[in-house]
Protein backbone atom coordinates (compact mmCIF):
# COMPACT_ATOMS: atom_id res chain seq x y z
CA UNK A 1 0.00 0.00 0.00
CA UNK A 2 2.82 2.40 0.94
CA UNK A 3 4.58 1.54 -2.29
CA UNK A 4 1.45 2.22 -4.35
CA UNK A 5 0.99 5.63 -2.75
CA UNK A 6 4.64 6.40 -3.42
CA UNK A 7 4.29 5.29 -7.03
CA UNK A 8 1.30 7.58 -7.55
CA UNK A 9 3.25 10.49 -6.06
CA UNK A 10 6.18 9.66 -8.31
CA UNK A 11 3.91 9.54 -11.33
CA UNK A 12 2.44 12.94 -10.49
CA UNK A 13 5.95 14.35 -10.15
CA UNK A 14 7.06 12.96 -13.50
CA UNK A 15 3.92 14.18 -15.25
CA UNK A 16 4.73 17.69 -14.05
CA UNK A 17 8.37 17.36 -15.14
CA UNK A 18 7.34 16.26 -18.62
CA UNK A 19 5.05 19.30 -18.88
CA UNK A 20 7.84 21.55 -17.65
CA UNK A 21 10.31 20.25 -20.19
CA UNK A 22 7.86 21.16 -22.93
CA UNK A 23 8.15 24.75 -21.78
CA UNK A 24 11.92 24.53 -21.28
CA UNK A 25 12.61 23.18 -24.74
CA UNK A 26 10.63 25.92 -26.43
CA UNK A 27 13.01 28.56 -25.08
CA UNK A 28 16.32 26.86 -25.81
CA UNK A 29 18.43 26.26 -28.88
CA UNK A 30 21.51 24.33 -29.90
CA UNK A 31 23.08 21.92 -27.42
CA UNK A 32 20.76 22.95 -24.60
CA UNK A 33 17.67 22.24 -26.67
CA UNK A 34 19.08 18.87 -27.73
CA UNK A 35 19.80 17.97 -24.12
CA UNK A 36 16.36 19.18 -23.04
CA UNK A 37 14.79 16.95 -25.67
CA UNK A 38 16.80 13.93 -24.54
CA UNK A 39 15.70 14.55 -20.97
CA UNK A 40 12.09 15.00 -22.08
CA UNK A 41 12.22 11.57 -23.70
CA UNK A 42 13.89 10.06 -20.63
CA UNK A 43 11.21 11.48 -18.35
CA UNK A 44 8.41 10.35 -20.67
CA UNK A 45 9.83 6.82 -20.57
CA UNK A 46 10.13 6.97 -16.80
CA UNK A 47 6.56 8.28 -16.47
CA UNK A 48 5.33 5.37 -18.57
CA UNK A 49 7.33 2.82 -16.52
CA UNK A 50 5.88 4.17 -13.27
CA UNK A 51 2.39 4.16 -14.77
CA UNK A 52 2.87 0.53 -15.79
CA UNK A 53 3.97 -0.39 -12.26
CA UNK A 54 0.79 1.15 -10.88
CA UNK A 55 -1.32 -0.76 -13.37
CA UNK A 56 0.53 -3.99 -12.59
CA UNK A 57 -0.31 -3.43 -8.93
CA UNK A 58 -3.98 -3.48 -9.87
CA UNK A 59 -4.58 0.24 -9.50
CA UNK A 60 -5.47 2.96 -11.97
CA UNK A 61 -2.73 5.39 -12.95
CA UNK A 62 -4.05 8.94 -12.60
CA UNK A 63 -3.87 10.94 -15.84
CA UNK A 64 -1.79 14.06 -16.29
CA UNK A 65 -3.37 17.42 -15.62
CA UNK A 66 -4.11 19.67 -18.56
CA UNK A 67 -1.55 22.20 -17.34
CA UNK A 68 0.73 22.82 -14.38
CA UNK A 69 1.60 26.02 -12.56
CA UNK A 70 5.26 26.82 -13.15
CA UNK A 71 7.37 28.02 -10.24
CA UNK A 72 8.53 31.04 -12.24
CA UNK A 73 7.86 32.84 -15.50
CA UNK A 74 9.91 31.43 -18.35
CA UNK A 75 10.79 34.18 -20.79
CA UNK A 76 14.06 33.08 -22.33
CA UNK A 77 16.98 30.68 -22.24
CA UNK A 78 18.22 31.77 -18.81
CA UNK A 79 14.91 31.22 -17.05
CA UNK A 80 14.36 28.02 -19.05
CA UNK A 81 17.65 26.57 -17.76
CA UNK A 82 16.72 27.65 -14.24
CA UNK A 83 13.36 25.91 -14.54
CA UNK A 84 15.05 22.78 -15.88
CA UNK A 85 17.40 22.76 -12.88
CA UNK A 86 14.41 23.07 -10.55
CA UNK A 87 12.52 20.34 -12.37
CA UNK A 88 15.44 17.93 -12.06
CA UNK A 89 16.13 18.82 -8.45
CA UNK A 90 12.48 18.16 -7.70
CA UNK A 91 12.64 14.90 -9.61
CA UNK A 92 15.64 13.85 -7.52
CA UNK A 93 13.59 14.50 -4.39
CA UNK A 94 10.71 12.44 -5.74
CA UNK A 95 13.12 9.65 -6.64
CA UNK A 96 14.51 9.71 -3.10
CA UNK A 97 11.00 9.40 -1.68
CA UNK A 98 10.17 6.49 -3.98
CA UNK A 99 13.44 4.78 -3.14
CA UNK A 100 12.72 5.09 0.57
CA UNK A 101 9.17 3.73 0.20
CA UNK A 102 9.83 0.63 -1.88
CA UNK A 103 10.81 -2.93 -1.07
CA UNK A 104 14.28 -4.35 -1.65
CA UNK A 105 14.81 -5.86 -5.10
CA UNK A 106 11.42 -4.62 -6.30
CA UNK A 107 10.97 -3.20 -9.80
CA UNK A 108 9.89 0.09 -8.25
CA UNK A 109 13.13 0.29 -6.21
CA UNK A 110 15.17 -0.32 -9.36
CA UNK A 111 13.31 2.45 -11.15
CA UNK A 112 13.85 4.83 -8.24
CA UNK A 113 17.58 4.17 -8.03
CA UNK A 114 18.17 4.84 -11.72
CA UNK A 115 15.85 7.83 -11.65
CA UNK A 116 17.80 9.46 -8.83
CA UNK A 117 21.06 9.27 -10.75
CA UNK A 118 19.52 10.61 -13.95
CA UNK A 119 17.88 13.53 -12.17
CA UNK A 120 20.97 14.45 -10.15
CA UNK A 121 23.22 14.44 -13.20
CA UNK A 122 20.73 16.49 -15.20
CA UNK A 123 20.23 18.98 -12.36
CA UNK A 124 23.97 19.55 -12.25
CA UNK A 125 24.06 19.88 -16.04
CA UNK A 126 21.47 22.66 -15.80
CA UNK A 127 23.43 24.46 -13.11
CA UNK A 128 21.56 23.48 -9.97
CA UNK A 129 23.51 24.09 -6.75
CA UNK A 130 25.77 21.15 -5.92
CA UNK A 131 24.22 18.66 -3.52
CA UNK A 132 26.39 16.17 -1.67
CA UNK A 133 23.36 13.99 -1.00
CA UNK A 134 21.12 14.60 -4.04
CA UNK A 135 17.39 14.30 -3.46
CA UNK A 136 17.53 14.46 0.32
CA UNK A 137 15.21 17.09 1.71
CA UNK A 138 16.81 19.87 3.67
CA UNK A 139 16.01 19.71 7.36
CA UNK A 140 13.54 22.45 8.25
CA UNK B 1 35.90 3.35 -0.91
CA UNK B 2 34.82 6.81 0.20
CA UNK B 3 37.94 7.17 2.35
CA UNK B 4 40.14 6.25 -0.59
CA UNK B 5 38.32 8.65 -2.91
CA UNK B 6 38.70 11.35 -0.31
CA UNK B 7 42.43 10.81 -0.03
CA UNK B 8 42.87 11.06 -3.79
CA UNK B 9 40.76 14.14 -4.41
CA UNK B 10 42.09 17.69 -4.21
CA UNK B 11 39.08 19.62 -5.46
CA UNK B 12 37.46 21.30 -2.42
CA UNK B 13 33.90 20.67 -3.64
CA UNK B 14 34.61 17.00 -4.29
CA UNK B 15 36.31 16.61 -0.91
CA UNK B 16 33.32 18.21 0.79
CA UNK B 17 31.00 15.81 -1.03
CA UNK B 18 33.03 12.76 -0.02
CA UNK B 19 33.16 13.97 3.58
CA UNK B 20 29.36 14.23 3.61
CA UNK B 21 29.10 10.78 2.04
CA UNK B 22 31.33 9.37 4.76
CA UNK B 23 29.14 10.95 7.40
CA UNK B 24 25.95 9.65 5.74
CA UNK B 25 27.41 6.17 5.58
CA UNK B 26 28.41 6.32 9.23
CA UNK B 27 32.12 6.38 8.50
CA UNK B 28 34.90 8.12 10.35
CA UNK B 29 36.53 11.12 8.75
CA UNK B 30 40.30 10.53 8.52
CA UNK B 31 42.88 13.02 9.71
CA UNK B 32 44.11 15.42 7.03
CA UNK B 33 47.08 14.13 5.08
CA UNK B 34 50.15 16.18 4.29
CA UNK B 35 50.02 15.47 0.59
CA UNK B 36 47.30 14.98 -1.94
CA UNK B 37 47.30 13.76 -5.49
CA UNK B 38 45.42 15.21 -8.46
CA UNK B 39 42.26 13.59 -9.78
CA UNK B 40 43.34 10.94 -12.22
CA UNK B 41 41.75 8.41 -14.52
CA UNK B 42 42.07 5.70 -11.84
CA UNK B 43 40.00 7.91 -9.55
CA UNK B 44 37.34 8.17 -12.23
CA UNK B 45 37.36 4.38 -12.54
CA UNK B 46 36.97 4.11 -8.77
CA UNK B 47 34.11 6.58 -8.77
CA UNK B 48 32.37 4.62 -11.51
CA UNK B 49 32.87 1.35 -9.67
CA UNK B 50 31.73 2.90 -6.41
CA UNK B 51 28.57 4.25 -8.06
CA UNK B 52 27.77 0.81 -9.49
CA UNK B 53 28.29 -0.86 -6.12
CA UNK B 54 26.18 1.74 -4.34
CA UNK B 55 23.33 1.30 -6.81
CA UNK B 56 23.41 -2.46 -6.28
CA UNK B 57 23.37 -1.90 -2.54
CA UNK B 58 20.50 0.56 -2.91
CA UNK B 59 18.35 -1.95 -4.79
CA UNK B 60 19.13 -4.66 -2.22
CA UNK B 61 18.76 -2.61 0.96
CA UNK B 62 15.95 -3.77 3.23
CA UNK B 63 15.75 -0.36 4.88
CA UNK B 64 14.28 2.22 2.53
CA UNK B 65 16.15 5.18 3.99
CA UNK B 66 19.43 3.30 3.64
CA UNK B 67 18.49 2.57 0.04
CA UNK B 68 17.86 6.24 -0.62
CA UNK B 69 21.21 7.24 0.87
CA UNK B 70 23.07 4.63 -1.19
CA UNK B 71 21.27 5.69 -4.37
CA UNK B 72 21.90 9.34 -3.65
CA UNK B 73 25.62 8.91 -3.09
CA UNK B 74 25.81 6.86 -6.27
CA UNK B 75 24.10 9.75 -8.04
CA UNK B 76 26.56 12.21 -6.52
CA UNK B 77 29.46 10.14 -7.82
CA UNK B 78 27.94 10.25 -11.29
CA UNK B 79 27.66 14.03 -10.99
CA UNK B 80 31.33 14.22 -10.08
CA UNK B 81 32.12 12.16 -13.16
CA UNK B 82 30.25 14.66 -15.33
CA UNK B 83 28.55 14.03 -18.66
**Helix, coil or strand: residue B66:** helix
Report the share of chain B in percent with pLDDT over 90: 40
What is the pLDDT averaged over residues A101-127? Answer: 97
Q: Residue B34 pLDDT > 50, yes or no?
A: no
pLDDT at B39 over 60: no
**B33 pLDDT exceeds 70?**
no
pLDDT of residue A100: 97
* ipTM for this model: 0.92
* pLDDT(A107) > 80: yes
pLDDT at B37 over 60: no
Is the model's pLDDT at A83 over the cut of 80?
yes
**A99 with B51: Cβ contact below 8 A:** no
Q: Please, which residues 66-85 of chain A have a Cβ atom closer than 8 Å to chain B?
A: none
What is the reported pTM? 0.85
Contact A96 B72 (CB under 8 A): yes
Closest CA of chain A from B47, distance in Å: 13
Provide the pLDDT confidence category of residue A140 given band limits of 50, 70 and 90.
very low
Residue B52: closest CA among B39, B32, B66, B71:
B71
CA dist., res. A8 & res. A57, Å (int) = 11
Q: Does B47 touch chain A (CB under 8 A)?
A: no
SS (H, E, C) chain A: CHHHHHHHHHHHHHHHHHHHHHHHHHCCCHHHHHHHHHHHHHHHHHHHHHHHHHHHCCCCCCCCCCCCCCCCCCCCHHHHHHHHHHHHHHHHHHHHHHHHHCCCCCHHHHHHHHHHHHHHHHHHHCCCCCCCCCCCCCCC
Confidence band of A106 (pLDDT split at 50, 70, 90): very high
pLDDT band of A62, cuts 50, 70, 90 = very high
In this complex, the residue of A109, A119, A125 whose CB is nearest that of residue B67 is A109
Percentage with pLDDT > 90 across chain A: 94
User: Is any Cβ of chain A less than 8 angstroms from the Cβ of B39?
Assistant: no
Residues 6+ apart with CB under 8 A from A110: B59
Tell me the chain B residues in contact with residue A120 when contact means C-beta distances shorter than 8 Å. 72, 75-76, 78-79
Amino acid sequence: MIELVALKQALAAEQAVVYGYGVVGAHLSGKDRKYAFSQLVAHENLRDRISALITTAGAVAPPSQAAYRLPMPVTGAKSARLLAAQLESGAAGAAWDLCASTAAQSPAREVAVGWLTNAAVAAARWGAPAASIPGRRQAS
Amino acid sequence: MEVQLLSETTDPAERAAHLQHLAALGGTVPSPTATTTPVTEPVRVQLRGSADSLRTAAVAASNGMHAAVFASIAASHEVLLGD
